[in-house]
């Protein structure tokens, strides 16, 4: 919906309020699919609350409505607002209630609709499996509990909170490290030695955390690698390396660098050394050293 669908706006507060309310009415119309994005405090929760109420007013079963939020605070705010509004409708006099409904729906209700509106509070509370306003996490957890077989999870699982999971991971890490100290598992011991050689023990910590954080893609890679003849062939395939490529052949492929030993570089080094600052001088020294060596890895 474009802003100019409403024609030019008078620069008055009332005009802006009317414009906002008209847009909110469109977005809360249950017959439309709507995507709302707006600044904090501009009325998003208001629109969502209104949409739920209009769904209920139009005869929708409370148990057929699902509202998902990201935080628990947002879920309880939504729930409070819906129930506050419906609770108020139980006790309002007819005229006032008709006004409220007209403000939401754009027309005054007939007798039947007014009576129905008064009963909404009780219906929303009493329907088994009532109105569902919950976080997306709670919803997913409930789904997994309902379909453990399909999801391939243990039937009576519970979800760890962040602190418990950090404790368990730390325990597992400690168990892993002490197990390798006993040198029962030669391959694992060697793997640890390699990592410690490349990085110190904080590097090992970081590596283990990264593995845990990316365990799903890593597992997928390992499964795929098993079909491609192992990790080494799988990595070579992914990186476009021949099966007989080694560090030496790769280096030999581009070393000596074309032109590195030419007169132009020679002249540049001379000029830079006489005119340059500390950084330039350092780079030139290295360049000069690289020109002399015949060991590509060291030169690189
Ligand atoms: N059309 C409206 N008429 C009256 N009050 C409104 C309207 N739209 C929003 N509000 C009020 O503005 C405040 C902020 O709205 P809220 O829905 O919480 O915003 P958001 O969720 O976008 O942060 C709330 O108190 C809400 O009741
Ligand atoms: Mg909000």
Summarize pLDDT for 164-201 with one digit per residue, the tens.
988 998 888 888 777 766 567 788 788 878 888 887 77
Please report the pLDDT score of residue 183 as a whole number.
65
Residues with CB under 6 A from ligand 1: 20-21, 24, 38, 40-46
66 within 8 A of 52, measured Cβ to Cβ: no
Q: Which residue has a Cα nearest atom 10 of ligand 1?
A: 43
pLDDT above 90 covers a percentage of the chain that reads 46
With the most atoms of ligand 1 within 8 angstroms of its CB, the residue from 46, 48, 84 to mutate is: 46
Residue 13, classified by CB atoms within 10 Å of its CB into exposed (0-12), middle (13-18) or buried (19+), is exposed
Average pLDDT over residues 245-271: 85
Higher pLDDT, residue 254 or 46:
46
Return all residues near 299 (Cβ < 8 A) that are at least 6 apart: 255, 256, 289, 290, 293
pLDDT classification of 2: cutoffs 50, 70, 90 = very low
Q: What is the dihedral of CA 62, 67, 72, 78, to 10 degrees?
A: -70
Domain ranges (residues) in the chain: 3-151, 162-245, 246-300
Ligand 1 centroid–CA 42 distance in Å is: 6
Please report the pLDDT score of residue 191 as a whole number.
82
Average pLDDT over residues 121-141: 88
Angstrom distance (rounded) from CA 119 to CA 170: 54
Ligand nearest to the CA of 49: 1
Collapsed DSSP state (helix, strand, coil) of residue 104: helix
Ligand 2 centroid–CA 1 distance in Å is: 21
Residues facing residue 66 across a β-bridge: 132
pLDDT, the chain, mean: 87
Average pLDDT over residues 22-51: 93
């Amino acid at each position: 919906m474009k802003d100019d669908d409403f024609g030019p706006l008078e620069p008055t507060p009332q005009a802006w309020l009317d414009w906002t309310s008209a847009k909110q009415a469109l977005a809360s119309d249950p017959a439309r699919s709507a995507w709302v994005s707006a600044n904090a405090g501009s009325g998003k929760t208001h629109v969502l609350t209104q949409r739920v109420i209009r769904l209920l007013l139009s005869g929708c079963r409370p148990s057929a409505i699902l509202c998902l939020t990201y935080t628990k605070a947002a879920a309880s705010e939504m729930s409070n607002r819906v129930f506050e509004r419906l609770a108020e409708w139980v006790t309002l006099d007819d005229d006032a209630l008709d006004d409220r409904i007209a403000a939401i729906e754009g027309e005054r209700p007939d007798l039947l609709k007014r009576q129905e509106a008064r009963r909404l509070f009780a219906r929303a509370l009493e329907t088994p499996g009532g109105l569902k306003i919950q976080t997306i996490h709670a919803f997913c957890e409930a789904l997994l509990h309902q379909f453990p077989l399909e999801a391939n999870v243990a039937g009576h699982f519970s979800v760890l909170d962040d602190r418990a999971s950090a404790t368990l991971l730390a325990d597992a890490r400690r168990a892993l490290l002490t197990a390798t100290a006993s040198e029962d598992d030669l391959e694992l011991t060697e793997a640890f030695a390699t990592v410690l050689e490349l990085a110190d023990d904080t590097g090992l910590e970081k590596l283990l955390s990264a593995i845990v954080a990316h365990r799903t893609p890593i597992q997928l890679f390992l499964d795929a690698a098993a079909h491609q003849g192992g990790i080494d062939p799988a990595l070579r395939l992914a990186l476009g390396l021949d099966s007989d490529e080694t560090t030496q052949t790769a280096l030999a492929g581009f070393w000596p660098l074309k032109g590195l030993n030419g007169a132009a570089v020679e002249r540049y080094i001379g000029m830079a050394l006489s005119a340059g600052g500390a950084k330039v001088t350092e780079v030139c020294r290295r360049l000069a050293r690289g020109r002399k060596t015949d060991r590509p890895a060291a030169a690189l």
